[in-house]
Amino acid sequence: MKMSKNRLMIEQLDAKLKKLSSIGLTGTPSRGWIHAIRTSIRMSMRQLGKRMGIATQTVDDIERAEANGTVTIKSLRQAGSALGLSLVYGFVPKDQSIEAMIEKRALEVAREIVMSTSHSMKLENQENTPERIDKAIKERVSELKRELPRHLWD
């Protein structure tokens, strides 16, 4: 029962993340989104600070923090609100989907396990055929994907 719940969670996450995948292709402006949007609409730091209820220097600090990657989500949300925008926050899988990410990792782990076992058998003069090794890897991948053991991510 628990695994079917995990499977459902993965499917739901993949559906949500698929909607964000095109956003992942968009590069962040070099000086950050706040600066890019603020300057494109010709809003000064003072004006943004007034809207946010903070000092001009704090706006500058937030823009610098965004540019160097240390800005907080809270600051981004506040600046966005003051600019009339909503913050969109999420992750986009590098491997197309969570399911593909699991598949890739399960294949890596399965190969490692099967090849280790195969090497031991070879030393004992009980070597497997390449076909048997491929079959064993596929079976192990299926098992790892079904069970999602914690050691999958070690």
pLDDT 10s digits, 76-93:
999 999 999 999 888 888
Judged on CB neighbours under 10 Å (0-12, 13-18, 19+), 63 is buried
Contact 92, 20 (CB under 8 A): yes
Q: What is the CATH number of the domain that holds 45?
A: 1.10.260
Number of domains comprising the chain: 2
pTM: 0.73
Least confidently predicted of 20-34, 55-69, 82-96, 110-124: 110-124
Residue 57 lies in a domain: yes
Residue 52 lies in a domain: yes
- What is the domain extent for residue 72? 22-82
Q: Is the pLDDT reported for residue 1 higher than 50?
A: no
pLDDT 10s digits, 102-119:
999 999 999 999 988 876
| Nearest residue to 41 (alpha-carbon basis) of 89, 79, 88 | 79
